[in-house]
Structure 1
């Protein structure tokens, strides 16, 4: 396997995005955090053996390290730049050349190519055996399953805007009235969805399509999973968008993937893990020999992905 560097990302928190509803319901029934704008603060001076990482460089790096607090983004950016400096300096000390490299379909910069050359030279490869892959597969069977799918529909009854609690109460009464009138009649449900639903899916008889866990807001997802197959849940469920009448048509159980299908991905994972540990050791060794001021490197994580071959520090 060709060794390609993906990410050197020191101290940056993992960003999370809210799950989204299927396309028919992009504007209803789903959560979504407002995008946060992080300020670009300036803290103390950061140096590596007297070489200053400037405030301007850190500010430019910060967008690659999103965080809830500006201080955290600043620290992650400063750490990443310190590590980049250490690796580039070591590459120059070893007289390594910046061979041409392509990352994400684009030619790498000279710095990216030098860092890649250093880590390729120092870390090398650790290709796992089939026996190691098989052991990982058996110990992690839950990771190698297709997701359970739920074919479901809903009718969204939105409260009247500006009506306060009275509007919510009226929406609940309407949802319960629909449940009583429709019972388990699919045709009646479809007609009610087209007539009353405030979700765009109403024009598709309320269909949400095939849903997997994580694609709907939690309240609605849990309600779907507790609804008997082929019926309407006798209780409506409330989300921030209104009251939902839920129908579950079918459950498609996930199935276990055979080892032969999973083994190549497992091999990539184990090789990447071995590479990551070795690369972290390289960085830690360089950091221990350097006089770093203004920021602390705490067990710097280095992520590696052979399939993409991208570098961002």
Structure 2
């Protein structure tokens, strides 16, 4: 291990094992050519964890793990940190006027999910099979070229589809976000009403030629239906701010080497 690149992380005399940092680094994103960023994020996260656990023990707190799901409990360290934050932080209740002011900033951003009326033609293949994938792509391109952008002929062309929807002219009906595979939805979001994808779209099922028949935009939701969600978001934001402030307070009186608590 290169000591200059990966120095020991010591928090108030407690050394965090390099193996623990290496394991934690798997949970942090970084550009492929900059793995050191993931390491620094991991070192920072474990330094903060050490600070909180040291303070919890200094206060004499005793872990009382909660059951997070049937048969799954907090670790003792997680329980200690939770107990510490519950004791140390005081979060003022969110006021009604705060919730309403947050909603009033832009009511239009709170909408129900849109609905898309969609048709498609599928040329099925296993994308992992290079030969089959390329053959299916060539077939899909041929079908698309035959359409020449003519949406009216889509239903007829859909008779060549490998999807059961070919019996309905390729019509899938109305779908919403998350109802289909990500590649299909991404292509769909880029289409105008009546538009057809300019090239076949590959998914785990094969190549799709997609037509967006119509869009029903999501409706602006009324304040009363949103109030609990907005209040919860404001409470979480306040909790996060208070937690950061508490960690900064602990760090100001701590001796930390090998890790920075500044934003990465």
Query: Where on the TM-score scale, by shorter chain, does this alignment land: which range?
Result: 0.7 to 0.9
Q: Which residue of the other structure, out of 156, 161, 164, is the alignment partner of 1:188?
A: 156
TM-score (norm 1): 0.66
CA offsets 1:137-177 (integer angstroms, 9 cap, x no match): 11132331012221212224589x669x9997775344221
TM-score (norm 2): 0.77
1:260 matched to which residue of 2? 224
Offset of 1:128 from its aligned partner?
0.5
2:81 matched to which residue of 1? 115
2:95 matched to which residue of 1? 129
Contact 2:8 2:258 in 1 (8 A): yes
> Cα distance 1:57–1:97, how it changes in 2: closer, same or farther (>3 A)?
same
Secondary structure at the aligned position of 1:103 is classed as strand
1:175 matched to which residue of 2? 144
> Cα distance 1:99–1:180, how it changes in 2: closer, same or farther (>3 A)?
closer
Offset of 1:63 from its aligned partner?
2.7
5+ long unaligned stretches in structure 1: 1-41, 195-201, 301-313
2:258 matched to which residue of 1? 294
Offset of 1:98 from its aligned partner?
2.0
Offset of 1:191 from its aligned partner?
1.9
Offset of 1:247 from its aligned partner?
2.6
Offset of 1:280 from its aligned partner?
0.2
Contact 2:66 2:73 in 1 (8 A): yes
Offset of 1:183 from its aligned partner?
5.3
Provide the alpha-carbon RMSD of the alignment.
3.5
Q: Which residue of the other structure, out of 48, 55, 58, is the alignment partner of 2:18?
A: 55
Determine if the alignment matches structure 1 residue 237 to structure 2 residue 199: yes
Q: 2:43 & 2:75 partners in 1: Cα distance?
A: 20
Offset of 1:49 from its aligned partner?
2.2
- After TM superposition, the runs of 4+ consecutive aligned structure 1 residues lying more than 6 A away are 165-170
2:107 matched to which residue of 1? 141
Q: 2:53 & 2:141 partners in 1: Cα distance?
A: 63
Pairs within 5 Å for 1:1-313? 43-69=6-32, 70-105=35-70, 106-156=72-122, 172-177=141-146, 179=147, 184=152, 187-194=155-162, 202-205=163-166, 206-208=170-172, 210-212=175-177, 215-216=182-183, 220-222=187-189, 225-228=191-194, 233=196, 236-239=198-201, 244-299=208-263
CA offsets 1:7-59 (integer angstroms, 9 cap, x no match): xxxxxxxxxxxxxxxxxxxxxxxxxxxxxxxxxxx822111122211112212
| Structure with more helix by fraction | 2
The number of aligned residues is 246
Greater relative CO, 1 or 2 (CA 8 Å, sep 6+): 1
> Cα distance 1:288–1:158, how it changes in 2: closer, same or farther (>3 A)?
same
